[in-house]
Amino acid sequence: MRNVFHEQLDAVFEDLTRICGQVEIAVRRATESLLTGDAAVAEQVITGDAEIDRAREKVEESAFELLSLQQPVAGDLRVIIAALRMVTELERMGDLSVHVAKIARLRVPNVAVPDAIRATMTSMGETAEDMVRRVGQIIEKRDVGAAIELGRDDEVMDRLRRDSFAQLLGDDWEHGVEAAVDIALLGRYYERIADHAVSIANRVVFVVTGQNPRSIES
């Protein structure tokens, strides 16, 4: 009976890994639409979010079934609760990708990102995508070392966010209030994607070790 339970639990984590892949694609396409002004790509992100939502519902149903039928002991209960929290964060990352795509779509036929800040926003998009890809590998392998490393690397996104604000507030900003608002929002969306990735990685550490990641780092 316990073998069946753990097989079902492993299946939940496989589903989480697949959702990570879907979110990674959403982030990549959202950034592409943002930098190219491609409305069709933006629309793919927006309509594709329903698939991520359905995948989240499947994970939730599986987790609740395990809770109700298998009567998990303390360690297994910790894993199931962590999975439920992780899938919620993954869904939010998908939603944030949609927010990016909607800004891109709103500015068509123009491009939302002025040339002066294009390099910074490109780096933010690439960093967010990379963090989602890595967190998928962390979930798949339950890799504590990689999870802790991802938390440290979040400083890259924080630095890019600071850079974007410095550009917006600089005396040479000449792209108007509308573009400034767009960039401020986009920076926040990418930063939140990275924050969720780190949070998921921390949950993996807790699932594997039962410890807070900060206590392990110290």
- Residue 11 pLDDT: 92
Among candidates 6, 48, 22, 184, which has minimal Cα distance to 103? 184
DSSP string, 45-65: HHHHHHHHHHHHHHHHHHHHH
**pLDDT above 50 for 187:** yes
Asked if residue 205 lies in contact with residue 149, where contact means CB atoms within 8 angstroms, the answer is: no
Query: Residue 37: left if φ>0, alpha if ψ -120 to 50, beta else—which one?
Result: left
Q: What is the pTM (predicted TM-score) of this model? A: 0.93
Rounded Cα distance, 49 and 169, in Å: 33
Phi, psi of 58 (to 5 degrees): -65, -45
Q: Quick one: average pLDDT of 112-133?
A: 96
Q: 217 pLDDT exceeds 60? A: no
Q: Is 171 exposed, middle or buried (0-12, 13-18, 19+ CB in 10 A)?
A: exposed
Contacts of residue 159, Cβ cutoff 8 Å, sequence gap at least 6: none
Is the pLDDT score of 56 beyond 50? yes
Whether the CB-CB separation of 46 and 102 falls below 8 Å is answered with yes
Q: What pLDDT score does 1 carry? A: 52
Provide mean pLDDT across the span 146-162.
91
Residue with the larger pLDDT of the pair 182 and 212: 182
| pLDDT (mean) for 88-116 | 96
**Do 126 and 31 touch, CB atoms closer than 8 A?**
yes
pLDDT band at 170 (very low <50, low <70, confident <90, very high): confident
**Average pLDDT over every residue of 23-48:** 97
Q: What value does the mean pLDDT of the chain take?
A: 92
Dihedral of CA atoms 11, 83, 32, 99 in degrees, nearest 10, equals 140
| Domain range for 66 | 2-217
Domain with residue 182: its CATH number is 1.20.58.220
According to the model, what pLDDT value does residue 71 have? 73
Average of per-residue pLDDT across 41-55: 97
Which of the given ranges, 18-32, 55-69, 148-162, 170-184, has the highest pLDDT on average?
18-32
Please determine, for residue 218, whether its predicted confidence score (pLDDT) is greater than 50: no
Structurally, the chain folds into a number of domains equal to 1
Task: Please compute the mean of the pLDDT values over residues 93-99 and round it to a whole number.
Answer: 98
